[in-house]
Amino acid sequence: MTSKSAFIKARIFGEPFHVVTFDKSQHEYYAKLSDFHAQFRMVGNNYNQTLKELKCHFSERRAMALVCKLEKYMMQLVQIMHKVIEQTDKYKNTVK
C-alpha cells in the first residue's frame, strides 16, 4: 500500500489483502549459502590460474607432483560441498 489511509480504506470496503511473512533465519541461511557459493567459485577460478602457473614455471615432473597435492585438496572441497548440499536438502525439508 502507498499509505496507511489507503490500507484502511481498502479494509473498510472489503478488498482482499495478503499477509507476507518473512523468516529471518531462512534469509540468513540463504545469504550465507550464496556467500559460500561465491567463495567456491573463486576457488575454482584460482585453481585454474594455479594450474596455468604450474605448467609455465615448473618442470613437468614437479608440476605433476604439485597437481596431485592440489587434486587431493580439491577432493576434500568437493566432499565439503556434498555435505553442504545434504544440509541444505535437510533444511528445505524442515522448512516445508
Determine the pLDDT at residue 79.
Answer: 92
How much is the pTM?
Answer: 0.58
Q: Which residue has the cell 573463486?
A: 42
CA distance 44 to 36: 13
CA distance 30 to 39: 14
CA distance 35 to 8: 41
* Nearest partner of 67 among 77, 52, 80, judged by Cα: 52
Residue 10: other Cβ atoms inside 10 A: 13
Q: What is the pLDDT along the chain (96 residues), one digit of tens a residue?
A: 678 888 888 888 888 877 777 778 788 888 888 888 888 888 888 888 988 888 889 888 998 888 899 899 889 988 988 998 898 888 888 876
Cell readout for 28 is 540468513
